[in-house]
Chains A and B, each alone.
Chain A
Amino acid sequence: MNDREEQEDKREGEGLDELGELVIAEDEEELEQEPIPFRLPPKIALFLVAVVGLTLYCSIQLPKTMKEYKVYKQAEALIEKGETSAAISNLDELSNKYPDSTDLSMKLLRLSMQEGYYSIAVSTINDRLYGQKLFAVDHERFTGYIEQLERHLNAQAAVSGFFPFADDQANDEAPSRDEVKAQIYQLLDQSDMDQAYLYYVLSGVEEDLDTILWALQESYELDPELAGLRVKLSVICRRMDRLEEASQYAEEALRKERRDVEALRAMSTIKLATGDLSEGLRYSEEAYRLNPDAENVLSTYAVALYANGEYEMFRSILDDMANKGESPEGNLRRYFNGDMSLQDYYIEKRMN
């Protein structure tokens, strides 16, 4: 037995081991000690005050920190629940608060790229991740994202240079629609451009429904997460009487963002066109609740109310539209006058 073991055994014999702290005095008389009152030495009292103070501070901090942790931890679950924009914007807010957190920024970048929130991805890279040390696996992913975003930004820059429809103050020197189309078709041959974005832009320039649908489908094939793409596809499919496809795209858009006003409106029009009037009203009511100021939301809501015989509310919405300087015109007026059916209003008659 070495010295250390002897010491250890001696201590254990005394009822104290190295990290052992609790000892029962078997016989009080043997101890020859008076019991001590529950009074702490000044240093220990000071220590206790400090620990209690810090514990109180942490108790106050704990709910806030757990809320932040929840934002980080449950971002994917929130996206699964159809609250993509809330998940991304909450993460973005958190990432702004903790700009040094690579974990947080990488997660925000990954989800932004996955869900098509490219502007947030760009700001995350520029403001928080550029120049940071990353793990090999993150670095590989990061490089891929940068290449993808560069193509997207290249396409955006190229389009903004000649696309007059984005500019309200388009002047006489602006290129014609045909010239813009020709330029976009030229860009489609360039591999350093985001093709999905270019097809999407092309769909906004084209006038023929078949060509618009083709461009949107090409875009969807390449990047289904492009902002607004599914809704636009849904609307075009509905206009072309391809209601099943229209419904699928609108459902996809709502799965991604259950509070997407445009997707709700699109779904409402599909339901109205298929004769499911109550569902049409439900979707348009939800869209109106989320954005009561949007012109197209108001008109769809008015149509749904009229179709469902809710005339009192219908008149109130018409008044609301009138107050905003909008009054039913064209087909909408014809529908309200009974000169046009819902199907005719929402589905375009086409000559084959």
Chain B
Amino acid sequence: MRVFKELKALSSGFGLIVTTLTFPGVIVHELAHQLMCHICKLKVYAVRYFYPIAPCGYVIHEATDDPRKLFLVATGPFFINSGLGAIVVLPAITRVMLFSDSHNPLMLVLAWLGISILMHAFPSKADAKTMMQGILKNKKVGIVPKLLTAPVVGLIYLGAIGSVYWLDLIYAVAVARILPDLLVRLF
């Protein structure tokens, strides 16, 4: 346990540098939370889009018992960052990695931007915690939403743990490398 903590502490310091380097992803992540709050008509009290000292970004919003709203607000960044990141990264990464179009600065910027956005697609542990408290531990919420949410919360926790082992980067690279193959097979 102690080893894990130390590893996490070490990783966190380095993680902050990585987060700073990939700041567009953090901003998009917070914007996605804020947008979802707006769509779900939840009041927002404070937003930090990006700051190079932890916590790098956050959104503070009003509480709700509606499991759908909680789910959307917590998982919104996953869908928005994944979708946006994929659109941005696919043309760039294909041209830069495969077609060696690396002398095109726009493609390099797009590759960096896309990977940054994808790396911050995973909801954080705090997002999972809000879902845990607002849905799983909420007596007013029925069994069906709980059953549907439980695996998502589990996955988010897994993602949060996995981020120590570069799961966020692995996810970003996987989307950039696997999605083109899937698209080519589908169309």
* A55 contacts across to B, CB distance below 8 A: 84, 87-88
Q: Are A65 and B94 in contact (CB under 8 A)?
A: yes
Q: How far is the CB of B92 from chain A (nearest CB, A)?
A: 7
Would A62 and B90 be within 8 Å (CB), given that A11-B55, A33-B46, A100-B103 are in contact?
yes
Give the residue name and chain of the A residue nearest to B60 (CB): A23
User: What are 22 residue pairs bridging A and B, where the CB atoms are less than 8 Å apart in the complex?
Assistant: A11-B55, A17-B55, A19-B160, A19-B163, A21-B124, A24-B60, A24-B130, A25-B63, A33-B45, A33-B46, A35-B62, A51-B28, A51-B117, A58-B88, A58-B110, A61-B91, A65-B94, A66-B180, A68-B94, A69-B180, A97-B99, A98-B101
Instruction: Tell which of A70-78, A137-145, A181-189, A307-315 binds the partner.
Output: A70-78
Interface contact B88-A72, CB-CB below 8 Å: no
Q: How many chain-B residues does the 8 Å CB contact rule pick out?
A: 70
In the assembled complex, the Cα of A103 lies from the Cα of B160 at a distance in Å of 36
Contact bitstring A150-178, B, C-beta under 8 A = 1, else 0:
00000000000000000000000000000
A123 interface residue per 8 A CB criterion: no
Tell me if B30 and A18 are in contact (CB < 8 A).
no
**Contact status B63-A24, CB under 8 Å:** yes
Q: Is the CB of B59 within 8 A of A35?
A: no
B98 at the interface (CB under 8 A from A): yes
Which of A8, A51, A97 has the most C-beta atoms of chain B within 10 angstroms of its own C-beta?
A: A51
CB contacts (< 8 Å) of A26 on chain B: these are 63
> Which chain A residue lies CB-closest to B45?
A33
Q: B54 contacts which of A5, A11, A51 (Cβ < 8 Å)? A: A11
Contact across chains for B59 and A23 when beta carbons are under 8 A apart: yes
B interface: dominant SS: helix
Count of chain A residues near B, Cβ 8 A: 53
A2, A4, A41: which has the most chain B beta carbons within 10 Å? Answer: A4
The answer to whether A58 touches B87 (Cβ under 8 A) is yes
CA distance A97 to B33 in the complex (A): 41
The yes or no answer to A146 lying at the interface (CB within 8 A) is no
Residues of B within 8 A of A (CB): 5, 9, 12, 15-16, 19, 24, 26-31, 33-34, 38, 43-49, 54-64, 73-74, 84, 87-88, 90-92, 94-95, 98-103, 110, 113-114, 117, 123-127, 129-130, 133-134, 160, 163, 180-181, 183-184, 187
CB within 8 Å of B: which A205-230 residues: none
Q: Which residue of B lies closest to A98 (CB)?
A: B99
A101 lies within 8 A of B19 (CB): no
Other A-B contacts than A18-B16, A18-B54, 4 sampled, CB-CB below 8 A, are: A16-B126, A28-B45, A38-B38, A51-B24
A46 to chain B, nearest CB (A): 11
With both beta carbons as reference points, the residue of chain B lying nearest to A61 in the complex is identified as B91
Contact A69 B126 (CB under 8 A): no
- Contact of A113 with B by CB under 8 A: no
Distance in Å: Cβ of B37 to nearest Cβ of chain A: 8
